[in-house]
Amino acid sequence: MANRHRGEIGAMLDGRAYKLALTLGALAELESAFGDDDMLALAARFEKGRLSARDCVKIIAAGLRGAGCAVTDEEVALMRADGGAAQYVDIVARLLNATFGSDETQAEQMPKVEAGEDARAPFAGGA
| Structure confidence by residue, pLDDT tens digits, 3-53 | 777 889 999 999 999 999 999 999 999 999 999 888 888 888 888 888 899
Distances from the Cα of 47 to the Cα of 2, 34, 83, 122, 124, angstroms: 24, 14, 23, 8, 6
Burial 48-72 (b: 16+ CB within 10 A, else e): eeebeeebbbbbbbbbbbbbeeeee
Looking at residue 3, what is its pLDDT?
78
